[in-house]
Structure 1
């Protein structure tokens, strides 16, 4: 009996939302591998169906997410590859995800790039995915079911280039307001880079921080945020440059 395996790296929760939406259209039993927490080797059976979601970080899938996904192996396991981005640029990310899954012996049967509220610049793609997005995602899910039943693999050409664009480290500062911090240590636990020290959760090692936003979005007090001149200067220009609505794209 096949099961639906939800696999995602979702620091802000939006990629998780898209994967969950796709999975909700399937009736099989479901299991979840959250790559913010799961960092182990795992092999999946040929009767499983994997829905794999990654956010887009400057045109790439996140390095930590890629490293953790690399430990998951298929056995010609059908997979749906999804990259989720904040209405800016997909660049090479979807091609990178599809190729990585294939290298790990997953049978990619479909792929998609979807749009969600930008995790860093709050004025971009506000309210997304919206009703229109969700309707398109549900229609794509139905087509994925048909594709799996047909036994066919992904036939569409995926946009992107190899070698992939180089990883970029954003210059933005993440700060924590120590007067608001409740010292719950949720940020310490969730940080995939271990950039927040256990003995001082107010601090962040910006040399290893990937600016993934997991610590910001998990903080119950709203104590953590992007600050500094580089961020404040970039924000209005980025939001204006990416104000025109982009639509999700699907590949079968």
Structure 2
């Protein structure tokens, strides 16, 4: 096993990805360190890892891709042949090119992918799709995955392994879902939404508004507002959610695990 530190590094606006990454990192080390790239200041910093560290990376899937943020998510990370485990979470539909995109970005920055997982988390737009996940069955799969990663790292030839994950190049075009929340008159200007927004799309001087050019429709502001003042207005959003629930409430998708060979 490696002699360095284990890091759980994630972008997780509503907590689904974080749940998987931290569970996995915690099983691999009781002293795992978290790096929350949801925070803009963390994404602006350089994070450097050595060849004896192990980095567990994760992000959600938005329309088959990684979230499209100005400056990217993982671009300020630097490895030195550092072993990495790539993870994505999605709302029971499909993860398409997101896992491959994560692998490509991180391996271009010095990480050596050894394993990957695609996990199901609550859907961004519906509290019913993926509700309660990760559940006991998912966490048992996390334990299986941690054991598999540990066994792989105990092989003397693990640095020569090559990881293959599903996905296509070129990636599917990034698609903006035009779902933009805004605040109403019950807004107390507590600034919780401003600090929680990963895209910097809520102006501090006008916290009821949303910069639609920057918003990634993650709804972190809606779910973090203590006053319940932020929502997606209009009849189109409930109709879209109804359609998603009609397609995605079942069948239940299960995690998919991949190991380098």
Q: Does the alignment reach a TM-score above 0.5?
A: yes
- What is the deviation of 1:127? 1.2
Q: Do the aligned residues in 2 keep the contact of 1:8 with 1:33 (CA within 8 Å)?
A: yes
TM-score, normalised via structure 2 length? 0.91
1:76 alignment counterpart:
81
Distance 1:207 1:219 in 2: 21
Output the CA distance in 1 between the equivalents of 2:180 and 2:198. Answer: 17
- Tell me what 1:170 maps to: 177
Q: Which runs of 5+ in 2 are unaligned?
A: none
Q: Structure 1: which 5+ residue stretches go unaligned?
A: none
Report what 1:201 is aligned to.
Answer: 207
Is 1:190 paired with 2:196? yes
Equivalent residue pairs, number:
251
1:117 corresponds in structure 2 to 122
1:165 is displaced (CA, Å) by: 1.0
Counterpart for residue 101 of structure 2: 96
Is the partner of 2:181 in helix, strand or coil? strand
Contact 2:9 2:58 in 1 (8 A): yes
Q: Give the equivalent residue in structure 1 for 2:158.
A: 152
TM-score of the superposed pair, with normalisation by structure 1: 0.94
CA distance in 2, matches of 1:127, 1:203: 31
- Shift of residue 111, structure 1, vs aligned partner: 0.2
Deviation at 1:156, TM superposition (A): 5.0
Q: Which of 27, 30, 33 does residue 32 from structure 2 map onto?
A: 30
What's 1:129 paired with?
134
Match of residue 239, structure 1, among 222, 240, 245: 245
